[in-house]
Amino acid sequence: MSDAVAIDNPTVADEGQSSAWRQRLAVLDKWLEAAGDRLNPILVKETRQAIKSKQFAITFVLLLMLCWIVTIGGLTLLGPGVYYSAAGGELLKAYMFLLLFPLAVVVPFSAFRSLSSEREENTYDLLRVSTLSPHQIVRGKLGSAAVQMGVYLSAVAPCIAFTYLLRGVDVVTIAVMLLYATLGSLGLAMTSLFMAALAQGKHGQVLLSVGVVTMLLGSFAGSAGLAIAYLDEGRYEVSREELRIFSAGALTFYLTTFALLYLAAVALISYRSENRSTSLRWAMIVQQAAFIGWMAWAWLRFNYEPEGLIVALIIGAIYWYAMGTMLTSESPELSNRVRRRLPQSSMGRLVRGLLNPGPGTGYLFAVACFTGLCLMACAALVYVQYVPLSQRRNYQYPEIIGGMILLWCYLVTYLGVGKLIIAGINRLVPVNAIAGFLLHVIFLMAGAGIPLVIQLSLRSMRNAGYTALQLSNPFWTLGELLEGGGFSDKEIILQSIVLGAVAVCILMVNMPGTAREFMQGRVALPQRVAQDEAELHPVEIKPQNPWEEEAEAAADPDGTEA
Amino acid sequence: MSSHPQIELRQVNRWFGDTHAVNDVSFEVYAGEVFGYIGPNGAGKTTSMRILATLDEATSGDALVDGFSVVEDPDRVRRRLGFMPDYFGTYDNVDVHEYLDFFARAYGLRGTERSRALAFVEDFTGLDKLSTKPINGLSKGMKQRLCLGRTMIHDPSVMVLDEPAAGLDPRARIELREMIGRLADLGKAVLISSHILTELAEVCDRVGIIEQGQLVAVGSVDDISRKAEATAMVEVRFVGDVPRAHQWLHDRRDLHEVRIDERKATLTHAGDEAAQAQLLREMIQAGLKVVEFRCRTKSLEDIFLEVTEGRVQ
Ligand SMILES: Nc1ncnc2c1ncn2[C@@H]1O[C@H](COP(=O)(O)OP(=O)(O)OP(=O)(O)O)[C@@H](O)[C@H]1O
Ligand SMILES: [Mg+2]
């Protein structure tokens, strides 16, 4: 017995040490647990899955091995040249090529799969009945794409650091390239998630996954080409202004589009009575504002180019047409859930109405936003009057103004008629956003194509070039006006009047339906909901003015309640 | 507990094209009550349960959970509702504990609250010993338990279970019945569907029988059994002059559904046991040679077959 005490028992010491370790681990565990609590549940689960996933491990090991092969191969080829030639650029090209494949294809595609396989495996219903919000679902999927991306980046990072040691590339170039790759990958992941959210049925899913793969492979080829071209070009010169401006512009476009796709994906997986439109409309407004800001800046900076205005208007018209096609296929009935939050006053409803869900408000919203863009263009036309001719090109007013009017008329007409068509079909079968978009496009193609076919089939007119028959064809008419200069001023005025009259008629025809949407009043919060709301978020009665505050302080001199 | 029903269906209709899957169904389930939802294949059980679980939309009508509409306030409904579908949604590379942990997180449970919920559920469903087993390797019965565990992880006040007993062995069925009984004891409103009435008879306070989208009978199991006891099925065997016995049976006004093959006849007879004894005496007094006289109260199965007509839509 005493022997046992005398001997410095190694196992006991070990145990003491390991229990200390265990304690430390337990603390760490607790800390991680607390941190993990705040993380997105989907992110946590998918990271756990990825750690155990064979496919992930294989991709990772493959990437590592390829990097090593490239490194060893490169060094062997260089031989002693490694000491004096600046070979970093060449090797970096190879590494970027290797890195871009997982970033541009593997990560976004697994984001797409992870959302669409929830549908196939029936787990999507389980997510839906849980209290996870659509925001959390999309963010979780996006987050796990980001984690995967981080892992791939860290696999290639040592190699990329190595290229810096080899000389030939500078840190800024590497950093900018990696930043672009990361942002690009996240953007592709977001786009893929949006597509996955879009694919509701089985056939749609197959079709869209083909689309997604094509898109991803295309962007892989494109981005690899860009990276190589960029490295051939040399380096990222922070001092070059155009480069900075281009980057900032691209970043604005990226961020606003990202937000739009994110909100659209969230809207697609939200339940039907939820307001799925207002946040998207805000995002569109922000995107248009950013667009106007950049165009205005560029216009002022680069000699007030008249083409700048035209290009901005054309882009704006295409943008609002595209957005309008989807907005006009929303349901005309506001759900009670949405109507609970409508402003109480009719004035408030009128102002906020444009942002409310509904095909009529959507139509008016798209038209109003494009009208805003036109007004900005008009302001620019007035402004340029005061710029001395020596500093700017001459403006062809009839063509610019005529082009603007035609764009406006075409937008109003095509969206308006398309909306009526959708409303008609909606009575028979429900039309979703994709179907709405297709109906619009088919109608546009018909409007442009049918007169073309007629003209080509009439022998007398076949070689006549542009004729008045083509007035319903926006592409040819605008092309003739802006590029060919094929119209006299008189013709332009005539066209504007005819198309303007049609557009105003269409707008008027759409008004009753739109007005009905605006008239929908607020509904009271059901009592049960109000009761629950009060239980969930008890309203603290805050002092309304300093006197009450003082009185409260006097009643509670120690401030214990605070 | 509040006096309003925990589950309320109000004239729910659901059309799939030309199929009227749910036809004007209304019923209520209160806290602490187990409601059995019984019907043959394609009767519309799953469809109405999915509507209740905010996964499908009624063509018309509304369903309420704890007073909240599934159409207008699905978020509030989801917080209170546990839905167990008739399929198992699986993930690759996830074990039992992680699976439950994920759903606990998805329902917003944090920290100790979550670990307590996990411990309770794993214990309740008897999954504690399997917690590190990958879910894809579980047997059917274990998957059912896991499903049930997932359904109750956030301690919902309403549970909607779609055929939870399907694919379970007899022992597991008994255990499941016990579990459901305990859930009701915890004050939950339980809606549970099945093809088989007898399977639910013991646990259900009330049952609704649905066929071709329509509720054809609603009532407590006692009500239904009382109705069943009021009429008895009688089996009689004769020897001797069989045709005369047949004639005698046919001539009696108080006997229904008389079916005769050879020396055996089955018939239904309205009346209690005394009336049955009287019937037997009259047979013997009439000189029929009765060798066997057996009375059987109608089983729930018989009633089910009677109420539903076996049409499939
Ligand atoms: N998504 C759907 N599309 C078209 N028809 C459907 C759909 N879901 C259900 N149905 C139809 O609705 C009816 C009711 O189906 P439901 O799944 O609710 O029956 P059930 O009572 O659950 O049957 P089971 O006991 O076989 O599970 C059936 O006729 C079915 O064909
Ligand atoms: Mg079913």
Inter-chain contact A126–B150, Cβ cutoff 8 Å? yes
Nearest residue on chain A to B154, judged by CA atoms? Answer: A130
Q: Give dist(CA A477, CA A452) in Å, integer.
A: 12
Q: Backbone phi, then psi, for A493, in 5-degree steps?
A: -65, -40
Residues B133 and B237 in one domain: no
Residues B209 and B112 in one domain: yes
Q: Give dist(CA A493, CA A471) in Å, integer.
A: 13
Residues A296 and A217 in one domain: no
The residue from A210, A237, A264 where one domain ends is A237
B28 lies within 8 A of chain A by CB = no
pLDDT of A557 over the 80 cut: no
Name the residue range of residue A30's domain: 8-38
Residue B71 lies in a domain: yes
The enclosing domain of B156 has a CATH number of 3.40.50.300
In B204-276, which ranges are E strands? Answer: 206-211, 214-220, 231-239, 255-261, 264-270
Instruction: Find how far residue B299's CA is from the centre of its chain.
Output: 15
Residue A305 lies in a domain: yes
Instruction: Calculate ∠ Cα A81-A86-A87, nearest 5°.
Output: 75
A321's CB contacts (< 8 A; 6+ apart) are: A366, A411, A414, A415, A440, A444
Higher pLDDT: A536 or B188? It is B188
The pLDDT of A379-390, averaged and rounded, is 86
A562's CB contacts (< 8 A; 6+ apart) are: A556
Q: If contacts are CB pairs under 8 Å, which of residues 196-255 in chain B contact chain A?
A: none
Task: Identify whether the C-beta of residue A266 lies closer than 8 Å to the C-beta of residue A346.
Answer: no
Which residue among A122, A126, A271 places its CB closest to the CB of B54?
A271
Name the domain count of chain B: 2
Q: Helix A134-165 and helix A88-101: axis angle, to 10°? A: 160
Residues B183 and B65 in one domain: yes
Residue A535 lies in a domain: yes
Maximum Cα–Cα distance across chain B: 81
Q: pLDDT tens digits, residue range B110-152?
A: 888 999 999 999 998 888 888 889 998 888 888 988 999 999 9
Residues B199 and B155 in one domain: yes
Q: Which two tokens stand for residue B35?
A: 């409601």
pLDDT the model gives residue A215: 95
Residues B63 and B22 in one domain: yes
Closest by Cα among A309, A478, A512, A308 to A410: A478
The pLDDT of B144-163, averaged and rounded, is 93
DSSP state of A169: S
Instruction: Calculate ∠ Cα B299-B305-B307, nearest 5°.
Output: 105
Residues B36 and B172 in one domain: yes
Q: pLDDT tens digits, residue range A471-489?
A: 899 998 888 888 767 788 8
Residues B35 and B155 in one domain: yes
Q: pLDDT tens digits, residue range A2-20?
A: 444 444 444 445 555 667 7
> B41 C-alpha to center of ligand 2: Å?
7
Residue A125 lies in a domain: yes
Nearest protein Cα to ligand 1, atom 27: B41
Residue A344 lies in a domain: yes
Task: Identify whether the C-beta of residue B3 lies closer than 8 Å to the C-beta of residue B189.
Answer: no
Residue B235 lies in a domain: yes
pLDDT of B38 over the 80 cut: yes
Residues B82 and B130 in one domain: yes
Q: pLDDT tens digits, residue range B210-246?
A: 888 988 888 887 776 666 566 677 888 888 887 888 8
Residues A313 and A224 in one domain: no
Residue B192's pLDDT band, with cuts at 50, 70 and 90, is very high
Name the residue range of residue B65's domain: 5-219
The residue from A189, A218, A237 where one domain ends is A237
Q: Give dist(CA A262, CA A279) in Å, integer.
A: 11
Higher pLDDT: A65 or A238? It is A65
Please give all residues whose beta carbon lies within 6 A of any atom in ligand 1, as ranges.
B 16, 19, 21, 39, 41-47, 195, 313
The residue from B219, B254, B279 where one domain ends is B219
Q: Give dist(CA B100, CA B84) in Å, integer.
A: 14
Nearest protein Cα to ligand 1, atom 31: B42
User: Which residue, chain included where needed, has tokens 């907005």?
Assistant: A327
A33 lies within 8 A of chain B by CB = yes
Q: pLDDT tens digits, residue range B68-114?
A: 999 999 999 999 999 999 888 888 889 999 999 999 999 999 888 99
Residue B313 lies in a domain: no
Residues A18 and A121 in one domain: no
Q: Give dist(CA B242, CA B236) in Å, integer.
A: 11
Inter-chain contact A129–B92, Cβ cutoff 8 Å? no
Q: Give dist(CA A293, CA A309) in Å, integer.
A: 13
B72's CB contacts (< 8 A; 6+ apart) are: A273, A335, A336, A337, A526
User: Which residue out of B20, B38, B47 has the highest number of ligand 1 atoms within 8 Å of its CB and is therefore the one to mutate?
Assistant: B47
For A172-207, the DSSP string reads: HHHHHHHHHHHHHHHHHHHHHHHHHHH--SHHHHHH
Residue B305 lies in a domain: no
Closest by Cα among B37, B62, B80 to B205: B37
DSSP state of B289: E
pLDDT the model gives residue B299: 62
Residue A247 lies in a domain: no
Residues B191 and B268 in one domain: no
User: Which residue out of B19, B20, B48, B195 has the highest number of ligand 1 atoms within 8 Å of its CB and is therefore the one to mutate?
Assistant: B19
Query: How many Å from the N-terminal Cα to the C-terminal Cα in chain B?
Result: 40
User: Which residue, chain included where needed, has tokens 């050879």?
Assistant: B262
> What is the β-pairing status of strands B264-270 and B7-16?
unpaired
Residues A337 and A228 in one domain: no
pLDDT of A558 over the 60 cut: no
A194's CB contacts (< 8 A; 6+ apart) are: A261, A262, A264, A265, A268
B54 lies within 8 A of chain A by CB = yes
The enclosing domain of B268 has a CATH number of 3.30.70.100
Residues A53 and A30 in one domain: no
Residue B98 lies in a domain: yes
pLDDT of A69 over the 80 cut: yes
User: Which residue out of B16, B25, B197 has the highest number of ligand 1 atoms within 8 Å of its CB and is therefore the one to mutate?
Assistant: B16
Residues A47 and A26 in one domain: no
Residue A307's pLDDT band, with cuts at 50, 70 and 90, is confident
pLDDT the model gives residue A17: 63
A30 lies within 8 A of chain B by CB = no
A49 lies within 8 A of chain B by CB = yes
Instruction: Find how far residue A368's CA is from the centre of its chain.
Output: 22
Residue A132 lies in a domain: yes
Residue A269 lies in a domain: no
Q: Give dist(CA A102, CA A137) in Å, integer.
A: 23
A397 lies within 8 A of chain B by CB = no
- Which of A334-338, A343-347, A381-385, B157-161 is the least confident region? A343-347
Residue B303 lies in a domain: no
Name the domain count of chain A: 3
Inter-chain contact A337–B73, Cβ cutoff 8 Å? yes
B89-93's contacts with Cβ under 8 Å and 24+ in sequence apart are B89/A121, B89/A122, B89/A123, B89/A124, B89/A125, B89/A126, B90/A121, B90/A123, B90/B135, B90/B136, B91/A45, B91/A49, B91/A121, B91/A123, B91/B135, B92/A49, B92/A53, B92/B136, B93/A48, B93/A49, B93/A52, B93/A53, B93/B134
Which residue among A33, A125, A131 places its CB closest to the CB of B89?
A125
Residues A226 and A292 in one domain: no
Residues A23 and A55 in one domain: no
Higher pLDDT: A75 or A191? It is A191
A55 lies within 8 A of chain B by CB = no
Nearest protein Cα to ligand 1, atom 14: B44
Residues A49 and A32 in one domain: no
Share of chain B above pLDDT 90, in %: 41
Phi-psi region of A51 (alpha: psi -120 to 50; beta: other; left: phi over 0): alpha
Residues A93 and A23 in one domain: no
- Which run of H or of E encompasses B158? strand B158-161
Higher pLDDT: A371 or A1? It is A371
Residue B18 lies in a domain: yes
The residue from B219, B250, B277 where one domain ends is B219
Q: Give dist(CA A69, CA A66) in Å, integer.
A: 5
Residues B273 and B292 in one domain: yes
- Which of A452-466, A509-523, B255-269 is the least confident region? B255-269
Nearest protein Cα to ligand 1, atom 28: B42
Beta partners for B237?
B264, B292
The pLDDT of A232-259, averaged and rounded, is 81
Task: Identify whether the C-beta of residue A408 lies closer than 8 Å to the C-beta of residue A445.
Answer: no
SS3 of A227-282: the string is HHHHHHHCCCCCCCHHHHHHHHHHHHHHHHHHHHHHHHHHHHHCCCCCCCCHHHHH
Query: How many Å from the N-terminal Cα to the C-terminal Cα in chain A?
Result: 62
Inter-chain contact B85–A122, Cβ cutoff 8 Å? yes
A198's CB contacts (< 8 A; 6+ apart) are: A204, A208, A268, A433, A434
Residues A209 and A305 in one domain: no
Beta-carbon count within 10 A of B123 CB: 11
Residues A154 and A198 in one domain: yes
Residue A365 lies in a domain: yes
> B39 C-alpha to center of ligand 2: Å?
9
pLDDT of A239 over the 80 cut: no
> A560 C-alpha to center of ligand 1: Å?
61
Residues B269 and B151 in one domain: no
Which residue among B73, B106, B108 places its CB closest to the CB of A127?
B106
- CB burial of A34-58 (b: ≥16 within 10 Å; e: otherwise) equals eebeeebbbbbbbbbbbeeeeebee
The pLDDT of A138-167, averaged and rounded, is 88
Residues B213 and B233 in one domain: no
A111-125, A403-417, A482-496, B194-208 — which one is most confidently predicted on average?
A403-417
Q: pLDDT tens digits, residue range A178-219?
A: 899 999 999 999 999 999 998 777 777 888 889 999 999 999
